[in-house]
Structure 1
Amino acid sequence: MMKEGAIKAADAQPADHQPLTETETVEAPPKKSRLRLILLLAVPLIILGIGAYFYLTGGRYVSTDNAYVQQDKISVSAEVTGRIVEVNVKENQPVKAGDLLYRIDPAPFRIALEQAEAQLAAAKVGVNKLQAQVAGGGADIQAAQDNLVVAQRNFGRYAELLKRGFTTRVLYDQALHGVQEAKQRLADARNTAQVNQAQLSGGTVVDQPAVQAALAARDKALLDLKRTEVRAPADGFASQTERLQIGNQAVQGLGMVTIVRSGATWVEANYKETDLKNMAPGQPADVKIDAYSGKLCGHVASIGRGTGSEFSLLPAQNANGNWVKVTQRVPVRIAIDCQPTRPLLAGLSVDVTVDTKERPLDVRPAPRPAPAAAAPAQPQKTAAR
């Protein structure tokens, strides 16, 4: 049986199997021992290096993926209400400040301007008439005074004749009534002159209140006519132009197109409140954009003065029995220092990592003043017994 087992074992060995020589049998153990020794030393060193790295850099870098590219956006709305008759801009079209975006039907505003100019002319005519009346008011007063003198003389003669009995009482009363009428005409002339003079504030025709009001109405109509041409307020790119259709009604104050301002780009990173312990403006930051490869360099420009929930439309009301503490987010503005190779679009998601190793000199807190030295205690004098 042992012989058959030996024969089977010999048959199971491959044909090219060669027996190990004495030299190979002796050298194999040292090679395995050397590899085992290297592994035993390398693995602890690698673990120690990783631990040392995390120990030295732990808390130095603060990262968040709740960050987005932001750009200044201007909502351009019409300042007058009217029908759109011309559109000169398309979606994502670059525009310069002053370029015509769209035009509102100017016909109603031209008519309003003509009416305002007619009212201005009528106001000037009225002022000229008042000036003529003021100039002629002195003559009316003088004529009334002369009539009063004549009436008084006539009344005096009738009074003397009545005493002598050469006239009747009726003629005397008529003369007296003539004096009273002359006095009333003189008073009316003086009042009319005062009223006309009060309606004129002095100066030229343009300085008169009625003319000034007509001029203001004319300027308002002219401004409304000018506002029928809606122009770009700044350089940038036109966006959300779907409302700009010929025939649509442009409503005053309603945004019709948005201009994304070019050249003003930053990143708004929403950090947890627990990450702001060592963060300060001026610290360097790395910005990685999800849409593009590579990183951008930047720095912390400013830290928000309130959490995101504090400025939300409906702030959280925590004064109830079901309150649960939630870590708040604080917006941190990251300024981009490197020139990007591709255009940055508003709203792109980014990852921001801030290096908080050193606090910038210009934002370090001022040293606290040393406490004033306490005054030496004065020895108390004991009263002599």
Structure 2
Amino acid sequence: MIVVLLNTYLALLFILVKLKVVPFNLFWKVSPVLVLLVLLIGLFIPMNWGAPQGPVLVVRNSVAIVPDVAGEVVDVPVTANTPLKTGDVLFRIDPVPFQAQVDALAAQLKFQETRLAEMTQLQSRGTGRAFDVEQREAEVEQLKAQLAGAKWNLDKTTVRAPADGYVTNLALRKGARVTSLPLAPVMAFIDTADTLLGVEINQIDARYVAAGQPVELTFKWAPGTVQTGKVESVLQAVATGQVQTSGIAVAPKSVQAAPFVVRVKLDDEAFARMLPAGSAGDAAIFTDRVKAAHVIRKVLLRQIAITNYVNPF
């Protein structure tokens, strides 16, 4: 944009000199340099404070699916990268051993409840001991707890989607044996219920950014379009500001001005849900400062949106 403005001034100056409206003296010869300095100091450098711009990235939460019970997979009804709703079946584990355990505990519970009824009746007639009744009651309660746990295990043989989203990089097949170890996930589930958009803003440009300010964004995935949104928050920490326990002294080269991340939310929620995880682009945040530069930033962002048709980087 600064090149366009400077070239416009040069063209206008050329016309005025040719028409002899202005004399081509030393002042007008050096005036392009003066105009360049005025544009830089008076407009384009403050524009980075009033309307900072930075790269934007779409991030989605990834859930590592680990079954709660171990067993052989008997059914995998899902298809990779197909939208799923909360509660949709991801896969099923052979329920036979778990159903057998439920049936066995249910039979034992029924037997113990019968014995408890008999012991209670004997006690009421004065021919039974209170200790025997209390013991049978404890056994019944213990079996009820075991049966509840067995039913829970049986229910967990059907693994369901934890949220709206989709499964990606699906390799699980019928016949595979899965375990409940936390370090052995069987598939990756991408949660689409919440779309996270982060904008990197240089520290020198982030001091006036605040929640609620308007944002405009353009994505490589959707060239030629500009989306609107609002600032949700400015993340209060970056990796370079995180202290971890170690026996190493601070290395001077690790102290650097890493950009801050600003979380934004799109106004068009339907478009946000369509954005693939990893979608990149550019975003501009319009603060309450240097409002005269907002129009130029809008123009620059739309230029980027148009060049996204041909610029893959």
For normalisation by structure 2, the TM-score amounts to 0.71
On the 8 A contact 1:91/1:241 being kept in 2, the answer is: yes
Q: Distance in 2 between matches of 1:198 and 1:100?
A: 43
The reply on whether 1:279 has 2:209 as its aligned counterpart is yes
Change (3 A) 1:193 1:109: closer
Change (3 A) 1:285 1:46: farther
The DSSP-based 3-state class of the residue aligned with 2:221 is coil
1:125 counterpart (88, 91, 114): 114
The reply on whether 1:211 has 2:140 as its aligned counterpart is yes
Q: Which amino acid aligns with 2:42?
A: Y
Q: CA deviation at 1:290?
A: 2.9
On the 8 A contact 1:69/1:267 being kept in 2, the answer is: yes
Change (3 A) 1:263 1:228: closer
2:198 counterpart (256, 268, 273): 268
1:61 counterpart (47, 51, 54): 51
Q: Which amino acid aligns with 1:230?
A: V
| 1:277-335 CA distance string (max 9 Å, x none) | 11111112222223331322222111113223456xx8486973743431133322011
| 1:142-193 CA distance string (max 9 Å, x none) | xxxxxxxxxxxxxxxxxxxxxxxxxxxxxxxxxxxxxxxxxxxxxxxxxx73
Structure 1 stretch displaced more, 49-58 or 260-269: 49-58
The DSSP-based 3-state class of the residue aligned with 1:94 is coil
Q: CA deviation at 1:35?
A: 4.9
Residues 149-188 of structure 1: pairs in structure 2 closer than 5 A: none
The DSSP-based 3-state class of the residue aligned with 1:121 is helix
Aligned residues with identical type, % of pairs: 22
Structure-1 residue corresponding to 2:237? 306
Gaps of 5+ in 1: 1-30, 140-191, 201-207, 360-385
The reply on whether 1:357 has 2:288 as its aligned counterpart is yes
Structure 1 stretch displaced more, 109-118 or 40-49: 40-49
Change (3 A) 1:33 1:287: closer
Change (3 A) 1:219 1:47: same
On the 8 A contact 1:69/1:348 being kept in 2, the answer is: yes
Aligned-residue CA RMSD (Å)? 3.4
The reply on whether 1:88 has 2:77 as its aligned counterpart is yes
The DSSP-based 3-state class of the residue aligned with 1:83 is strand
The reply on whether 1:230 has 2:172 as its aligned counterpart is no
Q: Distance in 2 between matches of 1:111 and 1:64?
A: 59
For normalisation by structure 1, the TM-score amounts to 0.59
Asked which structure has the greater CA Rg, the reply is 1
2:168 counterpart (228, 235, 239): 239
Structure-1 residue corresponding to 2:18? 34
The DSSP-based 3-state class of the residue aligned with 1:216 is helix
